[in-house]
Chains A and B, each alone.
Chain A
Amino acid sequence: MRQGEISLVGLLALFSLYLIWKSTELPIGYIRGQGPGGGFWPFWLALGMLLSCLASAWKWWRTQSPASRSDEPFMDAFGWRTLLYVGGSVIAFVGLISIVSMYGAVAVFLLYYLRFLGRHSWFLTLAISLSLPIGLFFFFEAVMLISMPQGMSFTQPAFDLMYDIIY
């Protein structure tokens, strides 16, 4: 944990430096007749972020934060597995939206999560994985009039069928 904390502080300090540099693309000082420039607000805030990182590093060096006193590993095997299986599936879910549509991605994600991570029965898995996307379709497309991504062209016949029911 101790090494992890200072590594994170270092990364955040680098990100703060990037934001400071980025904010200077617009004037950061006072412009007569116009007030503070467009970069003024983000510049000082990013500087605040950098100073907070320095303060956190100081606390780490003096072992004042709980993580800086801990010899435990940052994450055990279960933690990394969780991140891979659950976090990875969420990334895959968003990646699938442009291919199999929002509703298709919801169905695939639920199928994977309920069956393979949750170890639920096929009956329950299929019932939820199919009914929820259909319910969401009618809620968003018919009631809220919000169109969700339809993915690649091969999903179109399914959408045409569903739109026929609504209209």
Chain B
Amino acid sequence: MEVMSFLADGILLALEPINLALIIAGVTVGLFIGAMPGLGSVNGVAILLPITFLVPPNSAIIFLAAIYYGAMYGGAISSVTLGIPGASTAVATTFDGRPLALQGRASLALVTAALASFVGGTVATVLFTLFAPVLASTALSFGPPEIFALMLLAFATFVGLGGDDIPKTVFSICLGLVLAAVGFDTISGEPRMVLFEIDGFMRGIGFIVLAIGVYGIGEMLWTIEQTRGEVTTTNPKMTAKGMMSDAKEAAQRGWKGTAIGSLIGFFVGILPAAGATPGSLMSYGVAKMLSKTPEEYGKGSPDGVAAPESANNSASTGSMLPMLTLGIPGSPTTAILLGGMVIWGLTPGPRLFIDESEFVWGLIGSFYISNIAALVINLAFIPLFVWMLRMPFTILAPLIFVLSIVGGFAASRSIHDLWLIVIFGLSAFFLRKFDYPLAPAVLAIVLGPIAEPTLRQSLLLSSGDPMIFFTRPIAGPITIIAIILILLPAVKLLRRKLALAKN
């Protein structure tokens, strides 16, 4: 009951006129920043952090959390309408969101994304409200072996994502992970894999560079070549009745993905250093694995949009938990929020709930309000985003190229990275022609910087003994499940061959 009373106070605080105005402004700004390829919640929160010093800490964190929420909703927009993931958290949304848009169902994809994001955010907020202190201590028991096991599980689901050609999928995963290793060795500090001795590689290869190259350039070239330039994206009819019907269809065909994403996203989100990206990818993989119609995934399944979208919103709420209770950021955006809290004179950690209860519960209350505001604002803007798809492809295509190059520069501020985008784009075009799945490479470059240090730290802990991944109570079962998933396609193939031999 005490929790409910604190929550009621928090919601009332969030509903104060200034806070409500900041929520609406934050969600709207976040939505547009998230929709821009190359810019994500971390850019929005970082850029607008200085202006929050004009308002009290309560309102400041509410504003920044609203931007975070809005950007999570917005990431889906460029994934669906442009086919370019606006941020790493929206990579998995592209897999089914883009095919839906190409089938003339962009509105269904966007409505599904909005509703799933709303449910994911709400479920996570309820879990956050009820179990904050308990979950914080559970998350703390995740050390490097557990995090690496979780990464292994994510890679195992990629093998399932890659289709039938397992060698090509494995190549794609390994390529993404090697590209993530370019730059400096984070442990010894020495330059590593500086390809062709070009200094630009010392800065490493960012996720966004590969993602924009693959999806913004490569995919576009491939689409133009395959369709002979006659791309018919759709003839979307946007009416209130149509959106209601889409909402109904989203609820019917996307509920399973939403449920899976909401839960997985939250639990992955609360793990320090994991965040919304692995959460959304794992949710997509698990939803596909548990689906009765996995063959529909990748071709425009509403469940395939709902799972990653509910997960990334759920995880973004979850990642606030270790930030508030332990002072450990769960994602880059929460790291900036944490910095903001310190500047405002607050000390994140276990005592925050006691010493600054009004601040904490005001923030939790704002999650509920921000979620509703984000849903309403997002739905209101869907006709605008769908209108973009009505443009002739000879206008849309150059706009996508421009946004890719400009967004790529905004994210990295380097001409070297722009050339890399072009090289990745052209390479992706050729690889795609020969059925190399490229999504696993993009996902691997995101998870590589988490997987490598945790593997090396784990092996250091065990003096080089890999059994550490099997003997620990949490890491062991996760590793075994991952290995089963990796071996599953081989077992299926063997069974198919045996059946053929029998016949």
Contacts and interface: CB of A to CB of B under 8 A. Distances in A.
Interface in B404-431: 405-406, 409-410, 413, 415, 418-419, 421-422, 425-426, 429-431
B419 A94 contact: yes
A83 B406 contact: no
Interface residues of B, number: 61
A139 to B, nearest CB: 8
A56 B193 contact: no
B349 interface: no
A128 B418 contact: no
A interface bracket (residues with beta carbon within 8 Å of B): 35 or more
A5 B165 CA distance: 14
Contacts of A128: 395
A38 B395 contact: no
B406 A82 contact: no
Contacts of A22: 193, 195
B462 to A, nearest CB: 10
Interface stretch (B262-270, B297-305, B450-458): B450-458
B194 to A, nearest CB: 8
B397 interface: yes
B61 interface: no
Nearest to B462: A35
Interface string A52-71: 11011001000001110000
Contact of B221 (A12, A39, A56, A82): A82
Interface in B173-192: 174-175, 177-178, 181, 185, 187-188, 190, 192
Contacts of B225: 75, 78-79, 82-83
A49 B456 contact: no
Given A41-B452, A74-B433, A109 B415 contact: no
A8 interface: yes
Given A90-B425, A149-B409, A118 B392 contact: yes
Contacts of B430: 8
B43 interface: yes
A87 B39 contact: no
Contact of A94 (B171, B405, B413, B435): B405
A19 B39 contact: no
Interface in A117-140: 117-120, 128, 132, 136, 140
Given A41-B452, A120-B394, A144-B410, 20 more contacts: A1-B434, A4-B434, A23-B181, A35-B460, A40-B456, A42-B178, A42-B181, A45-B178, A46-B178, A48-B170, A51-B170, A53-B167, A55-B167, A59-B165, A75-B225, A75-B433, A82-B229, A90-B401, A110-B402, A144-B47
Interface of B: 39, 43, 47, 165-168, 170-171, 174-175, 177-178, 181, 185, 187-188, 190, 192-193, 195, 217, 220-221, 224-225, 228-229, 392, 394-395, 397-399, 401-402, 405-406, 409-410, 413, 415, 418-419, 421-422, 425-426, 429-431, 433-435, 452, 455-457, 459-460, 464
18 contacts: A22-B193, A23-B181, A30-B464, A37-B188, A40-B456, A41-B452, A82-B224, A82-B225, A83-B225, A90-B217, A94-B405, A94-B421, A109-B401, A113-B397, A113-B398, A144-B410, A145-B47, A146-B410
